[in-house]
Chains A and B, each alone.
Chain A
Amino acid sequence: MRFLDLLTMSVNNLRRRKLRTALTVLGVIIGVASVVIMVSLGIGLNALMLEQYASYGDMTTISIYSDSYYGGSSGDSEPNYLTDEVLGQFERLDHVTAVSPMLSTYVIMKQGIYEANVNIVGVSREYLKRIPLGQGQVPEEGDEMKLIYGNWIIQRFSNSKTGEGYWDTGELADIDYMNKPMFVIFDTSAYYQSQGGGENQTKPPKKYMINAAGVVEGGIDDYNSYAYSVYTDIDALKTQLRQIYKKNPIPDQPTNKKGKPYPYFIYEQAVVFVDEMSNVTDVQQTLIDMGYQADSQMQWIEQSQQTYDVIQLVLGGIGAISLFVAAIGIANTMMMSIYERTKEIGVIKVLGCDMGNIRNMFLIESGFIGFMGGVIGLIISFTVSYVMNNYLGIGQIMMGIEGDISRIPLWLAASAIGFAILVGMVAGFFPSLRAMRLSPLAAIRNE
């Protein structure tokens, strides 16, 4: 028998018993809606939590430090500095998409009457591309050194004449990153010596005019993890530093046991980018095993996530009970329908309807009840979810942050309907076997 014919027969049979079908479907609607709403709340809570963490910083990045850099406990063994070679090893780890060194150097910046002490961080191009820019763009590869300013940097500038800054006056310095030149003094110790006055006054170090490439998006009230640094391309920064210090040791670079600088750069910190959140913990553990300190947002998230998993399970379980009751309802309806149709089933069996077709006819019927319940239940779920998100402000009450408390992702919607059909068919399975095995003789008996 063709599937379409089977479907038509099944649907016709359901239409014949409209009220009973409607009541059975109602059970499924309530079951599906409660499961979907409960699970959507679980998902919403979890997502709100993640959003909260995400606002603190990127969740797929791991920050790495080396104890040795700070004169840590390497003992007699070679210090495990973060060098380009080590970063190359990190990059070859599974799930690592990119690695960026972080080479920071303290500088003094001047524009007009304003000046500030600022940390310039040299990072890789991958890192630069991740910074959300409000103005300008990431410098081209191989470009001269250009700076990307964090959105809070402007607060650091103070008036060099009065010595008063933003924290004293409450007024932001009149700085134009993009259009006015910014002078940067790298050799700060030489600068302070030259300012010292007295006998041993030296010639002030050279000032470099460095252009801005962009500014991180957001104002001074908007927090993000890039707000309080100035970023630049690591290669450009290295070139610049080598040019300034020539053969002299670069400040903040560690020295070997003889007190000589290393012929390569040693980074205070590095950042590892991981492909997915779920792999962050594994990568982090690998890095720790390699002897480095590693930090990520994930370690905090995982704990909360476990809590939310339990919440979700409990909520889903409550919903599942009503779906289970609905399944019993379906089984009952199907059983009744088979008793009523004993004769009809016998007739079609005498007329040569395949036993498998008879079974499928009833399975489709119960599956269709599940399907209708699933679709209507889902519509109701979306409505309830919309109302909860937009009119009740439950998210605000429970989590204290803005956001949707109930979320129905596509997979939940699709699996809700799929599951409703499955529940219908499972509930209808034994009744349908019974129908299949009914004796055709019932049809011949004349009442």
Chain B
Amino acid sequence: MAEGLKIPDIGGKSPQGERMPIIQVKNLYKVYRVGETKVYALGGVDFTMYRGEFCAIVGPSGSGKSTLLNMLAGLEKPTKGEIVIDRVHIEKMKENELVAFRRQKVGFIFQSYNLLKTLNAVENVALPLSFRGMPRRKRNEIAKKYLKLVGLEKQMNHMANAMSGGQQQRVGIARALAVNPKIIFADEPTGNLDSKTTMEILKLMRRIVREQNQTLVMVTHDNHLASYADRQFHIVDGKIFKIEECHHEEEEGKCEAFL
């Protein structure tokens, strides 16, 4: 198990009442070489995300937001800088260590759902658990529980491509949640959905991570969607341009700018 030190689980706060950092990024660079020229996808990014937070990474296309997410999830290696997730440096990990890290700590929600077509809803949700070596009966039980949570009691045995986009994304969310991850990464999770379903999915995600005290990191290009997050990291040309905090207890959309 690649799990780090166990920390007491007190609502994402340390005993002193401070917020527990879960993702710490320091001076992160990603440079692509295109022929002779260097392209800075990320040019020195620093931030911290805390446990139980719903963070949105917002920016226009080509701003480097997806690159940032890929690096946080260990799918791409940074050129320079540090990424500490749950007290572990992931920038130096080898590929098989990164896979183990994702298996233990990360849930992933994709824009195009990426369900396995040969499997039904339950099997799809149970899939990441099978990677952990969990016996079939146990993992199917867990999968059913999460499918209920996302409101798909009736579609449990449907094959992946026999469902609508919204339903498929709910399965995707259940799949990400089923592994009980510390962090959930979502890459444009509503990008392929209509606006009504988008709202449902977004609210569902926010409700569940709040209930389970998980960290949700969502990448989007849509400012409106980002406003559902606790904090919005605006990224432009590979740099963080401002971080906004929103208080959703009041009316939606009232965010205050920090930078």
A joins B in a complex: yes
Q: Which residues of A contact B (CB under 8 A)?
A: 1-2, 4-5, 12-13, 16, 343-344, 347-357, 439-441, 443-444, 446-447
Q: Which residues of B contact A5 (CB under 8 A)?
A: 130, 136
How many whole Å from A279's CB to the nearest CB in chain B?
51
How many whole Å from A58's CB to the nearest CB in chain B?
59
Q: Which residues of A contact B75 (CB under 8 A)?
A: 350, 439-441, 444
Q: Which residues of A contact B108 (CB under 8 A)?
A: 350-351
| Bound-state Cα–Cα, A12 to B124, Å | 13
Structural contact, B76 and A441, CB atoms closer than 8 A: yes
| Bound-state Cα–Cα, A439 to B73, Å | 13
Q: Which residues of A contact B187 (CB under 8 A)?
A: 444
Over the window 96-115 of chain B, the binary record of Cβ atoms lying under 8 Å from chain A Cβ atoms (1 yes, 0 no) is 10011011101010111010
Structural contact, A446 and B191, CB atoms closer than 8 A: yes
**Closest residue of chain A to B103, judged by CB?**
A352
Q: Which residues of B contact A4 (CB under 8 A)?
A: 136
- Nearest 3 interchain pairs by C-beta: A352-B103, A352-B102, A347-B114
* Given the contacts A5-B136, A444-B66, A446-B111, A351 and B175 also touching, CB distance less than 8 Å: yes
29 A-B pairs with C-beta separation under 8 A:
A1-B133, A2-B130, A2-B133, A2-B135, A5-B130, A12-B118, A16-B118, A347-B116, A348-B116, A351-B108, A351-B175, A352-B99, A352-B100, A352-B102, A352-B128, A352-B131, A352-B132, A353-B99, A354-B99, A354-B103, A355-B99, A356-B96, A357-B131, A439-B75, A441-B70, A441-B75, A443-B114, A444-B70, A444-B75
| Bound-state Cα–Cα, A343 to B102, Å | 17
How many whole Å from A3's CB to the nearest CB in chain B?
10
Structural contact, A13 and B118, CB atoms closer than 8 A: yes
Interface of A is mostly: helix
| Bound-state Cα–Cα, A440 to B102, Å | 12
Structural contact, A355 and B191, CB atoms closer than 8 A: no
Q: Which residues of B contact A348 (CB under 8 A)?
A: 116, 127, 131
Structural contact, A351 and B118, CB atoms closer than 8 A: no
Structural contact, B114 and A343, CB atoms closer than 8 A: yes
**Closest residue of chain B to A5, judged by CB?**
B130
Structural contact, B106 and A352, CB atoms closer than 8 A: yes
Q: Which residues of B contact A351 (CB under 8 A)?
A: 102-103, 108, 127-128, 131, 175
Q: Which residues of A contact B99 (CB under 8 A)?
A: 349, 352-355
| Bound-state Cα–Cα, A13 to B75, Å | 25
- Count how many chain B residues have C-beta atoms less than 8 Å from C-beta atoms of the other chain: 34
Task: Supply 14 further A-B pairs (C-beta < 8 A) apart from A1-B133, A5-B136, A354-B131.
Answer: A1-B130, A4-B136, A343-B114, A348-B116, A350-B75, A350-B108, A351-B103, A352-B99, A352-B106, A353-B131, A444-B66, A444-B110, A446-B112, A446-B191
**Closest residue of chain B to A341, judged by CB?**
B116
| Bound-state Cα–Cα, A344 to B135, Å | 22
Structural contact, A350 and B133, CB atoms closer than 8 A: no
Q: Which residues of B contact A2 (CB under 8 A)?
A: 130, 133, 135
Contact among B104, B114, B116 with A352 in the assembled complex (CB-CB below 8 Å): B104
Q: Which residues of A contact B76 (CB under 8 A)?
A: 441
Structural contact, A355 and B131, CB atoms closer than 8 A: no
Q: Which residues of B contact A12 (CB under 8 A)?
A: 118-119
Q: Which residues of A contact B130 (CB under 8 A)?
A: 1-2, 5
Q: Which residues of B contact A349 (CB under 8 A)?
A: 99
